[in-house]
A and B are shown apart, each in its own frame.
Chain A
């Protein structure tokens, strides 16, 4: 479904990504790990279109994405959440969701659901119903993360990229988010790329793990294989 070929991204004299080749299958749960500065966020910026001046090619469902802007890629079915939440602060939680619903997903003609109904459904799924009509300013950390996720879900993606949605959350909150993502994948069969430092979460969630280090893929394997991989261990813990 997603096919990345020979992707290289250079900032001035610094090479952030070197010759990345990666495929994501429909319905797959992919975990993307790697130490800080290894290029994870750069990689998803390239996929989502926030960065477009890269070398190499990215294909999605047989469409070549490279010349498409971020909003066009979202309409093709790639949505992401942000590591640092970026809510639309002048709007309520529900209005936040209506933006991707209106601009990327459009009305659900199959179930004959209005945009508002669709927003309500997602809000309920994520347990934000009591905050639906509140401005985002008053949200707690976990609610803000859920909003990030809800907004990405509202774009009705075929591929969802969750960028460190669980960072800084408590153990039970991590479980809460994990359940939401697993439910989403089970129900809708969309592919999910999860970037995460919390190993328990990413290992439990993923069908496959890709580990980046210094802009290169050093492991591409099942979770159990990745854990035992000496290169991964070295990247995280040093020699």
Chain B
């Protein structure tokens, strides 16, 4: 019955998020909610490679940015719809993820991390010098007026599914997050997940025990990059403006890595908890103190957790439970 309860919870979250868009008037909640959900998806995606397989990726922002700029490219090329933009973001980032994986997955430990960081710099430099997508100055994305799906009005003041774009995007982000959670949970309980765990513990032994390590790592990298790209694909529409500095920001990489580490990397619950705690804290600090204190908070939390709770929040809970018994 556990599976049913899990999917029931996922369904309930989806319904609740839609009801929220219908009944909550204060738009700030959607803004803050979107920001936290975006962090959550990035953290979950990072954890597929970083947590399950043990390969630390510092280039999350590269895949995010590639997703965002793929959306811009298909918009410029075909005047693509919003949904096509998101899918294009995912596909293209996934392809780049696959290629990056193929070229870098023979590197281990810190060298892999450096290679992914280099990818971020290369991707940003390319976009800065590519005028077609706005170059360093950035590009504007204007939302379509009265968009419809199968004849149903999606966004409009009356008789539409959503009152405005922010609510629609919040709901879409909820869907992406929940889908990612389902994928991560599926991985954890699958042969694929067990193979990743084996190669994380000892790659040479895993390979000698029949685990196709390179193949599994490539799938993990591509999947992780695809999800990051999808998240990036939503971003330009949400901001209505995009430039290389915000799309390829190192903050995105640091957050994606910090949240699973703070929450715990063993299961999908870790990144979700990490994003809720850290993302929530960032929003509170932005409102009450200053938005520039954001990364300081992340840094301090990370240092505190690495020293006092190296297995993250989940590890801390486990430890206290054990001591309690």
A interface residues, Cβ below 8 angstroms from B: 48-50, 69-72, 74-75, 79-80, 82, 86-91, 95, 98-100, 102-105, 151, 154-155
Contacts of A75 in B (CB 8 A): 210
Quick check: A50 and B209 within 8 Å, CB to CB? no
Q: Is the CB of A71 within 8 A of B212?
A: yes
CA distance A100 to B206 in the complex (A): 8
Other than the known A49-B207, A88-B202, A88-B205, what 7 A-B pairs have Cβ atoms closer than 8 Å?
A69-B207, A71-B211, A74-B208, A86-B204, A88-B206, A99-B194, A99-B210
Interface string of B249-273 (1 = CB under 8 A from A): 0000000000000000000000000
Contact A88 B201 (CB under 8 A): yes
A76 and B204 alpha carbons, distance in the complex (Å): 17
Are A69 and B204 closer than 8 Å at their CB atoms? no
Q: List 30 A-B contacts (CB under 8 A).
A: A49-B208, A50-B204, A70-B207, A71-B207, A71-B210, A71-B211, A71-B212, A74-B208, A74-B209, A74-B210, A87-B202, A88-B202, A89-B201, A90-B197, A90-B200, A90-B201, A91-B198, A95-B194, A98-B194, A99-B194, A99-B195, A99-B206, A99-B209, A102-B194, A103-B191, A103-B195, A103-B210, A103-B212, A104-B209, A155-B210
Q: How far is the CA of A82 from the CA of B205 in the complex (A)?
A: 8
Chain B residues with CB below 8 A from A98, complex form: 194
> Which residues on A sit within 8 Å (CB–CB) of B208?
48-50, 70-71, 74, 79-80, 82
**Shortest Cβ distance from B211 into A: residue:** A103
CB within 8 Å of A: which residues of B?
Answer: 191, 194-195, 197-198, 200-202, 204-214
Query: In this complex, which of A75, A87, A89, A103 has the most chain B Cβ atoms within 10 angstroms of its Cβ?
Result: A103
Q: Are B202 and A99 interface neighbours, CB within 8 A?
A: no
Return the contact of A71 from the options B197, B201, B202, B213 (Cβ within 8 A).
Answer: B213
- Give chain B's interface secondary structure class: helix
A75 to B208, CA, bound (A): 9
A interface, over-half SS: helix
Q: Cα distance A99–B195 when bound, in Å?
A: 7
Which residues on B sit within 8 Å (CB–CB) of A95? Answer: 194
Complex alpha-carbon distance, A72 and B202, angstroms: 17
Q: A26: shortest Cβ distance to chain B, in Å? A: 21
A100 to B194: give the CA distance in the assembly, Å. 11
List the B side residues contacting A79 at CB < 8 Å: 208-209
CA distance A17 to B198 in the complex (A): 31
Residue on A nearest B202 in the bound complex, by CB: A86
Closest chain A CB from B60 CB (angstroms): 23
A69, A89, A103: the one contacting B209 at CB < 8 Å is: A103
Smallest CB-CB separation from B54: which chain A residue?
A90
A148 to chain B, nearest CB (A): 9
Across chains A and B, which 3 residue pairs bring their CB atoms closest together, nearest first?
Answer: A104-B210, A103-B210, A88-B201
Docked Cα-Cα span, A49 to B207, in Å, equals: 9
How far is it, in angstroms, between the C-alpha of A155 and the C-alpha of B198 when the chains are bound? 14
> Closest CB of chain A to B165's CB: distance in Å?
44
Contact A69 B214 (CB under 8 A): yes
Closest residue of A by beta carbon distance from B213: A71
- How many whole Å from B54's CB to the nearest CB in chain A? 10
Q: Do residues B211 and A99 form an inter-chain contact, with CB atoms below 8 A?
A: yes
Most A Cβ at <10 Å: residue of B200, B204, B205: B205
Which residue of chain B has its CB nearest to the CB of A148?
B205
Interface contact B201-A87, CB-CB below 8 Å: yes
A86:B210 contact, CB within 8 angstroms: no
Residue from A48, A71, A82, A105 whose CB has the most chain B CB atoms within 10 Å: A71
List residues of chain B with CB within 8 A of the CB of A155: 209-210
Rounded to whole angstroms, the CA-CA distance of A105 and B211 in the bound complex is: 11
Q: Determine if A87 and B212 form an interchain contact, defined as CB atoms under 8 angstroms apart.
A: no
Alpha-carbon separation in the docked complex, A99 to B208 (Å)? 11
Residues in chain B near residue A48, CB distance under 8 A: 208
